[in-house]
Amino acid sequence: MELTLTNFTKRFGDQTVIENLNLSVKSGEMIALLGPSGCGKSTTLFAICGIHKMDGGSLHFGADDVTRLPAQQRPVGVVFQNYALYPHMTVAENIAFPLKVQRKSRTEIGREVGVMAEMVQISNLLDRRPAQLSGGQQQRVALARAMVRKPDVLLLDEPLANLDAKLRLEMRSEIRRIQRETGITAILVTHDQVEAMSMCDRIALMKEGQIVQLDTAMGMYTNPIDQFVAGFLGNPPISFLPAEALNLTPPSAVGSTGPITLGIRPEHVGPQFGSAIEGEVTFVEPQGREELVDMRLPSGDALRAILPTGHCHVIGQKVKWGIQQDRVLAFTAEGARL
């Protein structure tokens, strides 16, 4: 089901948190709302599911205007950060609750709960209570409960934030698998760029109540619209160097000369790109397959490189490295992309 949010505005008291936000999600697509905390991504999610009233704009599921529809009647399934399972009910009762509300027959409820449990692989846990489950299992129950009504849209609010690193990896692919299998339109709210990049078809990067850029993960990574986007995506993060433009071809925002900022990703720095830049190693972080090396340039600025292990860099060592020049990103002093 296609989802269209038009000119969405949200105010808390007299403070406008989000103004005229537009977002369109294709049918069957999984999109991430990514951004630092306080950027309005959760607010957007809660407006879509109907918990927050919209102060302006409209929301359409397909051709249907659901702007004024109460949360109860919206065809939306939500997975909350703390899963919000009903602690006094068994797993089966938890999953069955939305169907019970719809007054479905007992046999039908039993069958549909069985199907959902099968899909999220918790068929052996149906008689347990939430307190007896691990975090990953609780997550699966929450997913099953959100999906059992067969909603048109699935909303996930930081679903992996409460899991440990290994489970997070597992649930990442699980959620994606379930989303693909059912072909449901999904929106994932997260502040973790790795989650957004690995799970979603497209990413909407938000900042201060606005969507800064909406693109595929790779599109956004290789072609960021401004310095904020370039800095937000990528782990280890991009290095920014101050620079002076000497002879820019017009039309350019800064004229032909002036101060600019260069963004250089760690994988584009290293000995394999020549030896034009001289510097001193200030930090080495072995990561197993690769190692992360910080170097200080004579100007005092820092450049970060990620290299295959086996170079045996030590702190204080003098190195001469190059950069892959065609991958360098340039920004104006204000942060706009050149």
Partner 1 sequence: MTGHSRNWYILAVLSIASAPLLIMYLFTLVESIAPIPHGRLLPGEVDLNSWRFLWERLQEGRPTIWAVTFNTFVFAGTTALAVCALSVTAGYALSRLNMPGRPIFLGGLIMLHAFPTITLIVAIFITLQFLGIYDTLLGLILVKAALELPFGIWVMKGFYDTVPWEIEMAGVQDGASRARVWWELVLPQVRPGLAALLIISFLSGWSEFVLPLVLAPGSSAQVLTTFLNSIIFLDDAEMDFGLFKALGMFYSLPVILIYLLFQKQLMNIYGGGTKG
- Piece in contact with partner 1 (CB under 8 A), picked from 115-123, 145-153, 283-291, 322-330: 145-153
Instruction: Considering the complex, state which of residue 35 and residue 50 has its C-beta at the smaller distance from partner 1.
Output: 50
Least spacing, CB of residue 71 vs partner 1, in Å: 5
Does 73 participate in binding partner 1 (rule CB under 8 A)? yes
Q: d(Cα 227, Cα 65) in Å, to the nearest integer?
A: 36
Spatial CB neighbours of 49, under 8 Å, sequence gap ≥ 6: 71, 74, 76, 78, 155
Does 276 sit near partner 1 (CB under 8 A)? no
Partners of residue 32 on adjacent β-strands: 188, 203
Among 20, 27, 64, 101, binds partner 1 (CB under 8 A): 101
Least Å distance between CB 85 and partner 1?
8
92 burial via Cβ count (<10 Å: 0-12, 13-18, 19+): buried
The number of beta carbons lying within 10 Å of the beta carbon of residue 210 is 15
- Cα 70-76-77 angle, rounded to 5 deg: 125
Angle at which helix 106-119 crosses helix 91-101, to 10 degrees, equals 130
**CA neighbours within 13 Å on the CB side: how many for 247?**
0
Residue 84 as a binder of partner 1 (CB under 8 A): the answer is yes
Q: Which is nearer to partner 1, 78 or 196 (CB)?
A: 78
Task: Output the CA–CA distances (angstroms, integers) from residue 280 to 283, 294, 296, 297, 321, in the order listed.
Answer: 9, 8, 5, 7, 10
**CB neighbours (10 Å) of residue 312?**
8
Q: Can you tell me which of 129, 176, 202, 311 binds partner 1, judged by CB under 8 A?
A: 129
Task: Decide the pairing of beta strands 15-25 and 3-12.
Answer: antiparallel
CB of 157 to partner 1, least distance (A): 9
- Beta strands in 265-328, from DSSP E residues, in sequence order: 269-270, 277-286, 290-296, 302-308, 318-323
CB-wise, 140 or 268, nearer to partner 1? 140
**Minimum distance from CB of 84 to partner 1 (Å)?**
4
Q: Does 128 bind partner 1 (CB under 8 A)?
A: no
- Indicate the angle between helix axes 165-182 and 106-119, nearest 10 degrees: 120
Place of tokens 């510097």: 279
3-class SS of residue 160: coil
**Which is nearer to partner 1, 61 or 97 (by Cβ)?**
97
Among 4, 49, 225, 301, binds partner 1 (CB under 8 A): 49
Q: Choose, by CB under 8 A, the member of 1, 17, 43, 97 that binds partner 1.
A: 97
Task: Please work out the total of residues on this chain that contact partner 1, with binding judged by CB under 8 A.
Answer: 27
**Pick from 30, 39, 47, 76: which binds partner 1 (CB under 8 A)?**
76
Q: Per rule CB under 8 A, is residue 145 in the interface with partner 1?
A: yes
- Check residue 159 for interaction with partner 1 (CB under 8 A): no
- Told to check if 149 binds partner 1 by CB under 8 A, we report yes
Among the residue ranges 24-32, 95-103, 118-126, 263-271, the one whose residues contact partner 1 (CB under 8 A): 95-103
Question: Would you say 103 or 166 has its CB closer to partner 1?
Answer: 103
Q: Which residues bind partner 1 (CB under 8 A)?
A: 49-51, 71-74, 76-78, 80-82, 84-88, 97-98, 101-102, 129, 131, 145-146, 149
